[in-house]
């Protein structure tokens, strides 16, 4: 790894998060890369494994503003976007922003909300703005949604629409902690919150600068062709009804750029693309036999891994 100012900041953030979280370092690195790539992250797993803690730790480590939304079946779209309230004193409607107006939005158990409320987040996630009563309001920059969801087989959950899943750049699963990690959690002093000693590592302005820098990381034409070939394969692979959209190609390129920058390079290698292909593409697939939940996601991840193994990779010299 080449040391650069960017790698120093991102390395410090990763180390700070790893010091207070019990999840795997791979998940932490994926979360940091997703933030730098300008995307949104979906954390999917059973309750109680630390999904919300990771989201809160990210918000604290980055600084800026953060809001947490606990999704429930009776939540309405206005509970997220905000509402216009008539002010008698002025004779005008005044907009009161909702919790979507923050640099990092923690959408906790997003699949407990009804589909109408879930869809209210589409504009925010895709365009960085929301529309209320005919007026459009820009959201803070940088803007990131870190959502958690429980497996769809659990009672009181709704499947996220495919259009909304496509807005998440990456999807990760924690899995249960190792026995050693879980023993350490049990033995730790619980007088303080796990995040009590986590200090801010960088600012929202730093993240905006890093995002701009990541966008300038070079993707050679053979690498771009390889990304398109991987995504195209998801559309015709056996067992897949609908493959990844062009947004998947753009997300794969953005995550490959982000990973390259965290490793101190200003160009993308095949390794960068292959390392992020599963978390970028798996949640975008609709399988032939349908269904939702942990088992389906595991099959999707296995299919993407097979596609990566079967797709010839270009030989590109460092540029």
39-66 per-position pLDDT tens digit: 999 988 766 657 778 888 888 898 888 8
Average pLDDT for 204-208: 89
**Per-residue pLDDT for 89 more than 80?**
yes
Beta bridge partners of 41: 146, 170
**pLDDT tier at 79 (50, 70, 90 boundaries)?**
very high
3-state secondary structure 46-87: CCCCCHHHHHHHHHHHHCCCEEEEECCCCCCCHHHHEEEEEE
Please, is 311 exposed, middle or buried when counting C-beta atoms within 10 Å of its C-beta (0-12, 13-18, 19+)? middle
**Every domain of the chain and the residues it spans:** 1-72+103-112+138-184+202-214, 216-319
pLDDT at 175: 67
Token duo for residue 25: 């370092």
**By percentage, how much of the chain surpasses pLDDT 90?**
50
**pLDDT tier at 153 (50, 70, 90 boundaries)?**
low
**pLDDT tier at 159 (50, 70, 90 boundaries)?**
confident
pLDDT at 271: 96
Contact call for residues 31 and 69 (beta carbons, < 8 A): no
**Per-residue pLDDT for 1 more than 60?**
no
pLDDT at 290: 61
pLDDT at 155: 57
**Prediction pTM value:** 0.89
Considering Cα of 143, then 165, then 176, then 192, what sign does the dihedral take?
positive
How many Å apart are CA 76 and CA 214, to the nearest integer? 36
**Per-residue pLDDT for 319 more than 70?**
no
How many Å apart are CA 68 and CA 223, to the nearest integer? 38
Contact call for residues 50 and 181 (beta carbons, < 8 A): no
Mean pLDDT over the full length of the chain: 87
pLDDT at 229: 98
Token duo for residue 263: 């490793």
**Per-residue pLDDT for 117 more than 80?**
yes
Average pLDDT for 198-207: 89
Q: 294-310 and 221-236 helices cross at what angle (nearest 10)?
A: 130
Give residue-wise pLDDT tens across range 125-146. Answer: 988 999 888 889 999 988 999 9
Query: 1-72+103-112+138-184+202-214: what fold?
Result: Rossmann fold (3.40.50)
Q: 82-87 and 92-97 as β-strands: parallel, antiparallel, unpaired?
A: antiparallel
pLDDT at 47: 66
Q: Which of 213-222, 233-242, 291-300 has the lowest mean pLDDT?
A: 291-300
**Per-residue pLDDT for 266 more than 60?**
yes
**pLDDT tier at 185 (50, 70, 90 boundaries)?**
low
pLDDT at 54: 84
CA-closest candidate to residue 245, choices 263, 232, 258: 232
Choosing among 2.30.29.30, 3.90.1150.10, 1.10.8.80, 3.40.800.10, the CATH entry for 216-319 is 1.10.8.80
pLDDT at 69: 92
3-state secondary structure 92-155: EEEEEECCCCCCEEEEECHHHCCHHHHHCCHHHHHHCEEEECCEEEECCCCCEEEEEECCCCCC
pLDDT at 215: 94
Give Dmax over CA atoms of the chain in angstroms. Answer: 69
**Per-residue pLDDT for 190 more than 70?**
no
pLDDT at 149: 84
């Amino acid at each position: 790894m080449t040391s650069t100012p960017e790698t120093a900041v991102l390395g410090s953030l990763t180390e700070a998060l790893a010091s207070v979280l019990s999840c795997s370092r791979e998940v932490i690195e994926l979360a940091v890369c997703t933030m730098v790539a300008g995307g949104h992250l979906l954390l999917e797993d059973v309750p109680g494994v630390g999904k919300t803690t990771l989201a809160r730790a990210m918000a604290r480590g980055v600084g800026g503003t953060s809001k947490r939304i606990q999704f429930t079946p009776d939540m309405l779209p206005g509970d997220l976007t905000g509402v216009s309230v008539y002010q008698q004193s002025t004779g005008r409607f005044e907009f009161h922003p909702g919790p979507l107006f923050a640099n990092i939005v923690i959408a906790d158990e997003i699949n407990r909300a009804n589909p109408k409320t879930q869809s209210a987040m589409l504009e925010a996630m895709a365009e960085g703005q929301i529309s209320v009563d005919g007026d459009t309001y820009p959201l803070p920059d940088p803007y990131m949604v870190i959502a958690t969801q429980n497996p769809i087989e659990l009672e009181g959950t709704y499947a996220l629409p495919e259009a909304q899943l496509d807005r998440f750049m990456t999807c990760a699963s924690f899995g249960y902690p190792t026995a050693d990690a879980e023993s350490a959690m049990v033995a730790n002093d619980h007088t303080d919150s796990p995040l009590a000693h986590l200090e801010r590592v960088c600012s929202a302005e730093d993240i905006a600068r890093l995002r701009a820098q990541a966008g300038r990381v070079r993707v050679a034409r053979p690498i771009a062709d390889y990304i398109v070939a991987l995504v195209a394969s998801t559309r015709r692979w056996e067992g897949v009804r609908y493959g990844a959209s062009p947004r998947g190609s753009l997300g794969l390129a953005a995550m490959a750029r982000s990973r390259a920058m965290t490793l101190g390079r200003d160009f993308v290698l095949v390794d960068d693309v292959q390392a992020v292909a599963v978390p970028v593409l798996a949640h975008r697939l609709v399988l032939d036999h349908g269904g939702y939940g942990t088992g389906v996601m595991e099959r999707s991840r296995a299919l993407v891994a097979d596609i990566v193994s079967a797709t010839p990779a270009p030989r590109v010299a460092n540029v």
